[in-house]
Structure 1
Amino acid sequence: MEETFLIFFFLSSIIFLVSKPKTLLQQSIVFPLLNLGTLALQTICKPIANRLKKEAGVNPRFRQFIINIAQVAGAALVYEVQKNSRGEARKEEKRQEELQEIRRKHAKMENEIEELKRRYQDLSLKIAEEMEEMKQRHHEC
């Protein structure tokens, strides 16, 4: 009983550190603790798994119960993976739409810049023509 409490406390501490590593020390401790926690979990689960295998080999009803649990777990896993992939697909679609909008705005800005350049050239030409006319009038006077 005491071992179970210590293991639970140890694993919950690891989960806390992994979920929110704030300091450099905590970040450097996370992976070794995670590895140690994984090893502890494997050590605890191995005798339980052996016991379940032994019971499943002897008792057909228990074996069917374990099979049903495994099927449900497998179905839940497939569901979660599909749900995650749909979410990722939606995120990617949104990113693509945002990228397309940025490209559209960029093309619009390029067109506006080209229009401003054309106007600048027209105005520069008009100013030059008017300056030339002013010089000619000044010389005539």
Structure 2
Amino acid sequence: MSIDRKYLIAALVYAIIGMVLGIYMAASHDHVHHVTHAHILLIGFVVSFVYGIIHKLWIVQPSARLSMVQFIFHQLGAAVLLIGLFLLYGNIIPESTLGPIMGIASVCVLIGMLLMMVIVLAKPGSYVAA
């Protein structure tokens, strides 16, 4: 499966999760997870979707290895961060326990973004003409 398709599928999964959480919050009138909801939709859905678009529209021959490392960093970091936010705002696990884990996850998401920049800059002659 191509990396752009992997990102599209991941983005749609995050969108479904975010929408289900949003519907739950609206139905229950309990908006304690609004931060989690926003992060699921932004980091999970929007950023994954944008990465997929970048791969589909601009990068002709990405390094398969580097693209997979970048995908793993983003998806793993996003998933851990979003689960951590759910556990934190749900008062299931205290911030003192989750803070370091979420900090590492946030750095993974940042590394994913930095790696995307490397991918975009790596082959200046191999992009689709705009």
Q: Same fold (TM over 0.5)?
A: no
More helix by share: 1
Q: Which has the higher contact order (CA 8 A, sep 6+)?
A: 2
Larger Rg: 1
TM-score, normalised relative to structure 2: 0.30
TM-score, normalised relative to structure 1: 0.28
